[in-house]
Amino acid sequence: MNNWSVPPLIALFLFPGGLFLFLWGLFYEWVDRKLVARLQNRVGPRWYQPLADLVKLLAKEEIVPEGSDPTLFYLLPVLALACAMTSALYLPMAGFMPAYSFRGDLIVALYLLSMLTIGLGVAGANTPNRFSLIGATRTLTQLFSYEAPFLLALLGPAIVAGSWRISEINFYTQQQPLWIMVTQPIGFLVALVGLMGKLELPPFDAPEAETEIVAGALTEYSGRGYALFRLGKNVELVIALTLVATFYLGGLANPLQFLVKTLGLLVFLAVLQTLFARLRIDQTVGLWWRIGALLAIAQLLILFVINLV
């Protein structure tokens, strides 16, 4: 059972909050890149590659482009990373009790995760570069398209568990004989594809499509700012995987389950990444609102009907 809790200072700086998230995020970035490389018949990066990238970017010169607001330019990466890391405090990271928990923290955690994407969008719009402007538009458009279906898909387990508190949903999913993935397959599908949209992984990587718009919203970022945004994305990867594993893969009771379930999800995501080609931004929006949202609502309706009967 899941009885361990963490003292506040350690929670902020070491275990679910600070250092653990950094290292785990870098580790998962490596797993993701290595898996994609192996699936493409390549050797792939070495295990310390994300760390080397991060340190190198931190040591590089940071150029503030002319015409952008310097305060925002410096502040946004910090804000994005801080928001992504704060949302980890409400999640059962590594199978431990969440460091903080209150009624409705599911919504807070999701909004904190969205702050990272909004930070990206504002950062892109802050610079006068045309590529980053298009990237920012695409990032925010994609945010508005995947956010609603993803939230609806996560509401399914919450409604079944009768609580919007992540720790209670975690307890509930652990006690179920069947994983919610089996009892709510449509919701799981939407959540999984929503995860890929949230992380801007290949079928949904139009916001940073380097063959069209250089590097999207982050085109003008160099050095420290870019490093922090990359780190924020890695943290988001860990958090989003934990969220979906908690809700749909039978909860996280201990570190071993955390490792197996999130890594399993990551392997699945890596396969999907290599399988699909990039969607255009209008196709992404169409997919989400025409199919994703409808599927998620259908799943919720089925749940209501079953509850009534």
Partner 1 sequence: MEQSLRSPWQEILEKVRVWARVNSPWAIHYNSGSCNGCDIEIVATLTPRYDLERFGVKLEGSPRHADVLICTGPVTRQSRDRLLRIYHQMPEPKFVVAVGSCGLSGGVFHGLYNIAGGIDEVLPVDVFIPGCPPRPEAIIYGLVQLLEGLRGREPSPEVKKMLQKTAKEERQ
By CB under 8 A, name the binding residues for partner 1: 33, 37, 40-46, 48-49, 51-56, 59-63, 131, 210-211, 214-215, 218-223, 226
Q: Would you put residue 281 in left (φ > 0), alpha (ψ -120 to 50) or beta?
A: alpha
- Picking from 279, 294, 295, 262, the residue whose alpha carbon sits closest to that of residue 25 is 262
Comparing CB distances to partner 1, the nearer of 54 and 94 is 54
> Residues 50, 79: contact at Cβ < 8 Å?
no
Q: What is the dihedral of CA 128, 130, 132, 138, to 10 degrees?
A: 130
Number of H helices, E strands in the chain: 14, 0
Question: Which C-beta is closer to partner 1: that of 111 or that of 224?
Answer: 224
Instruction: Tell me whether residue 49 or residue 176 sits nearer to partner 1 (CB atom).
Output: 49
Nearby residues of 55 by Cβ (< 8 Å), 6 or more positions away: none
Kindly tell me which of 51 and 108 has the beta carbon lying closer to partner 1: 51
**Rounded least distance, CB 272 to partner 1, Å:** 19
Task: Tell the smallest beta-carbon distance from residue 203 to partner 1 (Å).
Answer: 19
Least gap, CB of 14 to partner 1 (angstroms): 21
Give me the least distance between CB of 206 and partner 1, in Å please. Answer: 14
The distance of closest approach from Cβ of residue 210 to partner 1 in the complex, given in angstroms and rounded to an integer, is 4
State the DSSP string of 136-155. Answer: HHHHHHHHHHHHHHHHHHHH
| Least distance between partner 1 and beta carbon 140 (Å) | 20
Yes or no: say if 38 and 206 are a contact pair by the CB < 8 Å rule: no
Which of residues 211 and 307 has its CB atom nearest to partner 1 in the complex?
A: 211
Q: Which is nearer to partner 1, 131 or 146 (CB)?
A: 131
Handedness of CA 194, 199, 201, 207 (dihedral sign): positive
